Amino acid sequence: MGNMSPTLENLTETIINRLSDQGYAVIENFLPGQEIKALSHHAKSLQKNGEMHKAATGLSKQNTNNSILRGDFIHWIEASQACKIEQIYLDSMSSLQQAINKSFFLGLFELESHFAIYPPGAGYQKHFDQFIGRNERKVSCILYLNEDWTKDDGGALRMYLDQKNQNNYIDITPQAGTLVVFLSEEFLHEVLPAKRERISLTGWFRTRSVN
Ligand code: OGA
Ligand code: MN
């Protein structure tokens, strides 16, 4: 009563329902504003300390033109060495994972996650979240950390809803606190270039490789 802000439990329920109806969910204010701020601040200090590195893709590790494919800088979270704010993120993802497991029997058992910073003008071309020949990534989750983002800033996540019709897509604004969750194998997507620096925290729930 009185408190209208949705709890993590409500949000989780919404995510589960949308995942099962449409294969993806877009949720605003997934974490409280001060936690989003702390995550954004943390990403910027990793960058300042030289702990963000040019991202490679599984498809093109040897490709020197990789930055044409994706132009972001990333930092992988080490769960065993997580700082306080990283742990808050990991805990919230872990409750989401439990809920997804219960509802979908996907057997997701671990999260890999990284911060990503796209400098102005950088994007990530159309791709699926899989390395070639593998399919351990089951559910992709992207949490945005950009305050006061406007449509005019660009940088949308463009998700293609129909592989046969590339005119059928949605654009998601990378506004602070927005979480996008989708079935990794089903959605082709891309990051459009932005006019300003764009920060996100991406996680994948994965099953163990059977190789
Ligand atoms: C990715 C990705 C989308 C985004 O890192 O694989 O597609 O909106 N990110 O940051
Ligand atoms: Mn992706």
The residue among 124, 184, 130, 126 whose CA lies nearest residue 160 is: 126
Distance 67 CA to ligand 1 centre (A): 14
Residue 49 Rama label (left phi>0; alpha psi -120 to 50; beta): alpha
Which residue in the block uniquely carries the two structure tokens 């200090």?
45
Cβ 177 vs Cβ 28: under 8 Å: yes
Taking the CB of residue 127, how many other CB atoms lie within 10 A of it? 15
Beta bridge partners of 78: none
Atom of ligand 1 nearest to the CA of 127: 7
| Cβ of 175 below 6 Å from ligand 1 | no
Q: For the chain, which ranges sit under pLDDT 50?
A: 1-2, 60-64
What is the model's pLDDT at position 56?
A: 78
In the CATH hierarchy, which top-level class contains the domain 6-206?
A: mainly beta
What is the model's pLDDT at position 58?
A: 56
| Cβ of 142 below 6 Å from ligand 1 | yes
What is the model's pLDDT at position 2?
A: 44
Cβ 146 vs Cβ 191: under 8 Å: no
| Cβ of 189 below 6 Å from ligand 1 | yes
Distance 11 CA to ligand 2 centre (A): 22
Mutate to test the pocket of ligand 1, among 66, 111, 124 (most ligand atoms within 8 A of CB): 124
Whole-model pTM: value is: 0.92
What is the model's pLDDT at position 108?
A: 83
Nearest protein Cα to ligand 1, atom 6:
129
What is the model's pLDDT at position 1?
A: 46
Distance 141 CA to ligand 1 centre (A): 9
Distance 40 CA to ligand 2 centre (A): 20
Atom of ligand 1 nearest to the CA of 172: 8
Q: Tell me: the pLDDT tens digits for 62-118?
A: 444 566 789 999 999 999 999 999 999 999 999 999 999 999 888 888 999 999 999
What is the model's pLDDT at position 176?
A: 98
Write the secondary structure of the chain as one string of H (helix), E (strand) and C (coil): CCCCCCCHHHHHHHHHHHHHHHCEEEECCCCCHHHHHHHHHHHHHHHHCCCCEECCCCCCCCCCCHHHHECCEEEECCHHHCCHHHHHHHHHHHHHHHHHHHHHCCCCCEEEEEEEEECCCCCEEEECCCCCCCCCEEEEEEEECECCCCHHHECCEEEECCCCCCCCEEEECCECCCEEEEECCCCCEEECCECCCEEEEEEEEECCCCC
Atom of ligand 1 nearest to the CA of 180: 8
